[in-house]
Homo-oligomer: A and B are copies of this chain.
């Protein structure tokens, strides 16, 4: 089915007006606003056609029309124009990126917070790891008699650490020796190969009788297990209430509860191969709780396993061009920043 030009213009006008006002739009308003040189009656006829095509709908006989999910879909696919971000927008985003993305193991939460702040929707962030993570490096740092720090570099380029107190004496030399042992025996192997046998063997090899090896191995296994399950983050919940469709407390509660649950977040849409942002409208969402919300996602990719997804959730009545453009810009910025663009302020280093 191919829509006539005039139908397209009307559909587009309905979507944009509705996005703006949150009120059903009538034929008269269309004529006034979008400069068609026909009467409202003509527009009414066209709108009736659009309705029978399933692109608009009526809550009741009278009172204006509202786009259906399918209507939004056509709008997103065919009618909307690329939103050009204003210089002010790009400036704000650039500044926020520079100032807020700090530690690597906080990328997720920083990215989420940023996305939410800059789009005014609740945002979620997911870490994507294409490969099974392994440990690439161990370090044991001596702090005092009873205390040391385990620092572990994972293959996805994040660094994890743990401060350990032991009731026994910890000599710096022991730590040096142990870290060599660990770097020899535990790097590069996935979690399921860290068997009790391997640990026992390492314990024998290092002559450790005080449980050091067991503690460190335990930490390593724990890390790999949590790194395997994708990490998630959600923030900006309060933005939900800025939209009249969430004045229904139960609806808001449902969506919020869904977003607060890690398992829910993992089931949210992910962008497809093309790399652009992806828009999922209302019932296109798999989750029952989001059947009348929309999700926009984009992907950041700084190579070597440092990849992730940022997305926002809002009502189906959403300014898709604007949100998609901002999200994409943020994702690109993150990619650049994480790929090393941040490491030396003032020196441009934009490889890979």
Residues of A within 8 A of B (CB): 102-105, 136-137, 139, 141, 143, 149, 151, 153, 157, 159-167, 211, 215, 218, 222, 226, 235-238, 241-242, 246-247, 249, 252-253, 256-257, 259-260, 339-340, 343-345, 347, 349, 351
Contacts and interface: CB of A to CB of B under 8 A. Distances in A.
Contacts of A136: 143
A166 B242 CA distance: 43
Nearest to A211: B344
A105 B237 contact: no
B103 A162 contact: yes
A344 to B, nearest CB: 6
Contact of A105 (B161, B238, B347): B161
B167 A151 contact: no
A34 B139 CA distance: 64
A347 B151 contact: no
A68 B259 CA distance: 35
A155 to B, nearest CB: 11
* Identical chains bound together, number: 2
A154 to B, nearest CB: 11
A159 B151 contact: yes
A256 B222 CA distance: 34
B241 A256 contact: yes
A174 to B, nearest CB: 15
Contact of A211 (B249, B340, B347): B347
A183 to B, nearest CB: 11
A149 B143 contact: no
Nearest to A142: B137
A104 B238 contact: no
The 10 closest A-B pairs by CB, nearest first: A165-B340, A241-B253, A238-B256, A159-B161, A238-B257, A237-B237, A165-B343, A238-B260, A167-B349, A164-B343
10 contacts: A102-B226, A141-B151, A159-B163, A165-B349, A166-B349, A167-B344, A215-B343, A237-B260, A238-B253, A241-B253
B163 A104 contact: yes
B260 A103 contact: no
A252 B241 contact: yes
Contacts of A252: 241, 249
Nearest to A349: B167
A153 B143 contact: yes
A241 B247 CA distance: 12
B160 A149 contact: no
B344 A161 contact: no
A233 to B, nearest CB: 9
